[in-house]
Structure 1
Amino acid sequence: MTAYWIAQGVGVLAFAVGITTFINRDERRFKLQLAGYSAIIGLHFFLMGATPAGFSAELNAVRTVISLRTRSVWIMSLFIALTLGLGLAKFTHLMELLPIVGTVASTWALFRCKGLTTRCVMWCSTACWVTHNFWLGSIGGTLIEGSFLIMNGLNIIRFWRMQKRGIDPFLVEKKVQEQE
């Protein structure tokens, strides 16, 4: 088995882990599952030779876990600086800017947004990543991010419709926050 197919296998594993991430309405479970997915897809990108995307994905994993504990602007700024520093240091093609832009947007969303707004910004971030992954030739990365784009988009519509009917789709999240 070649290194290429091992890398693709890790990408498919990330697909299996990440496929249900955006269905979660509970913010904690959503973020933990997103962190696990990010760690695996980061390994996939390093194995594919896409170092800027690998750094961005691994930073995503750490950042997502930390965002469970704090919404500090300073911590958010640190992760944005790390993303820009590590990503821009190794980029060689304009398409490699997309995961960096996507990571900066999702970092902002996880630290500064809640509920439906988080998912909308994450959807835009996903659009950056799916475009990059298709360009890179990442089978698992394109499948998962394309699935995220569709699933998150459908859930955004579903949650928005619930809100229009007077139902708070994130009530579970708010009850947990009140108990803490």
Structure 2
Amino acid sequence: MFLFAQCLVAIATLLDLASFQFKSRSLILMCLFSSVLLTSVHFFMLGHASAGSLMLIAAIRYLYCVFARKTWVMLAFMLLSCLAVYFTWYSWLSGLALSATLIQTFASFQKNDLYLRLIMVVGTSLWISHNILVGSPIAVLMESLFMASNLVGLYRFYTPKKLA
């Protein structure tokens, strides 16, 4: 079961790597939807219901954000995430996962892909910490590569290009 869970998150890693190499906000969010859905299954298989629930909600959120970005829906996703953690609380790690999710929820509702990317750096840092503490090496690798991909995308799309 552990090995299969790690394989799912390995596939999610490939989707994460692809996500921030697109300039299109919609393509970024579709890759994130697919990746996070697989990561949700991974956490459920490892017995981490809070993280699995948060990732499932995040997958639905990313899919919604491809098509719309209403503030009241963002607040509803935040409330739903809080309720999910309330009902699945297992330790302070649930609170860490919730913090990461709330930050990434805010990020995914940003109109500008630059702001989405910058805010995601903070949320991703918290998920890396969470995954280290729950002992999922492939999830740590996935989030670390996700961060690296985001930073490469920031560099590619938002640094001035030097003329030859």
TM-score (norm 2): 0.91
The aligned counterpart of 1:89 is 87
The aligned counterpart of 2:50 is 52
The letter for the 2-side match of 1:75 is: V
Stretches (4+) displaced over 6 A: none
The aligned counterpart of 1:71 is 69
The aligned counterpart of 1:128 is 126
Distance 1:64 1:127 in 2: 19
Number of matched residues? 162
Deviation, 1:8, is 1.8
Q: Which stretches in structure 1 are left out of the alignment for 5+ residues?
A: 166-180
> Which of 8, 11, 28 is equivalent to 2:9?
11
Deviation, 1:113, is 4.1
Deviation, 1:112, is 3.3
User: Does the 8 Å contact 1:14/1:140 carry over to 2?
Assistant: no
Deviation, 1:95, is 2.2
Superposed CA deviations along residues 60-80 of structure 1, whole A, max 9, x for unmatched, are: 110011112221111111100
Deviation, 1:148, is 1.1
Deviation, 1:36, is 0.2
% same residue: 24
Distance 1:107 1:123 in 2: 12
The aligned counterpart of 1:172 is none
Distance 2:4 2:106 in 1: 33
Distance 2:98 2:158 in 1: 28
Alignment RMSD (CA, Å): 1.6
Distance 1:51 1:101 in 2: 16
Distance 1:58 1:81 in 2: 14
Question: Greater shift after overlay, 132-141 or 77-86?
Answer: 132-141
TM-score (norm 1): 0.83
> Which of 29, 35, 38 is equivalent to 1:37?
35
> Rg larger in 1 or in 2?
1
Superposed CA deviations along residues 110-164 of structure 1, whole A, max 9, x for unmatched, are: 11341211100011110011111111111221111011112212322343313x8
Distance 1:113 1:107 in 2: 13
Question: Greater shift after overlay, 113-122 or 35-44?
Answer: 113-122
The letter for the 2-side match of 1:37 is: S
The letter for the 1-side match of 2:65 is: S
